[in-house]
Amino acid sequence: MALYTRQESRKWAKENLHGLANVVIPSFTQDLKGLNETGIRHDVRKSIDLGFTGTLLVAETATTLDEYIQFTKIAVDEAQGKLTIIHHASFHTLEENIDAVQAAEKAGAELVLLSYPANFYPKDSQEIYEYTKAFCEATNLGVILFPVPLWNFERLHPAAIDPKIIRQLLDDVPNIVAIKAEGGMPLIAGFTQCYQLFNDDVIVTTPLEKDAFALGNLVPIQWMGTSNYEMYGDVLPKLFNLMKEGRFEEVYEQYWKLTPARSTIGRFMASTDGAGLVNRMLWKYASWLTGFNGGPLRQPTMKINQTQMSAIRQALIKSGIDVTNDDDSQFFIGRNPEVNVKSESDLLKQS
């Protein structure tokens, strides 16, 4: 259950959300018929060890709703309060998203990142307001509002969500606690406008490390999330602490060292512009290089090829990141491979 009421959620967020929230992509058994609990627990522990303060449990990987709630329960149990567990409201319809967030709340999730369904095509900004308000009213959890080009909202306003609508939502919906401000990318105005207008009310952040560690040297940023920060190992949590301490010269020195990795991965991610999806396999591979579980993903999934894998590995090395010496073939197996016991027994019965 939530650690706070809807009316208390902003105060809770201001007091408790600090540092960086990465992502955990679910791990699956080798036959892809079930979740790999050992792999999931490995990734949650790794996130804690690297210094992250929260993690998003990624939903866009063809898990069923029941599996996603199982994923949440595993992560909550393994984290033992050492990570803020963030629910990913990225299911098919408003009704399913409400079912999912209510189940995730009971399972122990503490925060929500709000996405919008692929088939949601609002005719005006008011429909965005109505969807968002209806979702938020169905949960006690604090909600992160997420203006970003993924939703096809720019046809209604260049900032993805009209700032006037955001103002209306903040006035009417007490459990919106943060804004993950990526509207208008690659411009930074989506963040700067939200920060100027709304940071006194809620936490305003940009998850893009390429922007955040430069902007954070000018204005206070108390929390960053959610993104695949784990691909840099423990570098970004340490960099965030340097930024909070005002050690700007050291921040910039490390920031520029990450250029090979930042530009290489950025180039591959840009190659999928227009797809409206994040390449989770690419993210999972990059995190495997720095010690996460890896392992197979279900279809449909965006793919990663050997040219990309080799380039990412070398770019991380050039950026000073420690990476595994394991052959890339091991990524598709994972560090903690599990078989689906039920599936194996069924096969034996058939034989």
pLDDT tens-digit series, residues 76-88: 999 999 999 999 9
* pLDDT > 90: percent of the chain: 93
In this predicted structure, what is the pLDDT of residue 3?
86
In this predicted structure, what is the pLDDT of residue 273?
73
Q: Is the pTM of this model over 0.85?
A: yes
Which residue positions in the chain have pLDDT lower than 70? 1, 274, 341-351
Please list, in sequence order, all residues whose beta carbon lies within 8 angstroms of the beta carbon of residue 45, skipping any fewer than 6 positions away: 78
In this predicted structure, what is the pLDDT of residue 344?
44
Please list, in sequence order, all residues whose beta carbon lies within 8 angstroms of the beta carbon of residue 286, skipping any fewer than 6 positions away: 228, 231, 265, 312, 316
In this predicted structure, what is the pLDDT of residue 341?
54
In this predicted structure, what is the pLDDT of residue 342?
55
Which amino acid is located at 167 in the chain?
R
In this predicted structure, what is the pLDDT of residue 1?
66
In this predicted structure, what is the pLDDT of residue 161?
98
Q: Could you write out the DSSP letters of every residue in 37-58?
A: HHHHHHHHHHHHHTT-SEEEE-
The two structure tokens encoding residue 301: 């999934």
244-260 burial, b for 16+ CB within 10 Å, e for fewer? eeeebeebeebbeebeb
CA distances 130 to 6, 81, 116, 136, 165, Å, are 18, 33, 12, 10, 10
In this predicted structure, what is the pLDDT of residue 347?
36
Q: Could you write out the DSSP letters of every residue in 260-281?
A: HHHHHHHHHHHTTTTS-S--HH
In this predicted structure, what is the pLDDT of residue 270?
87
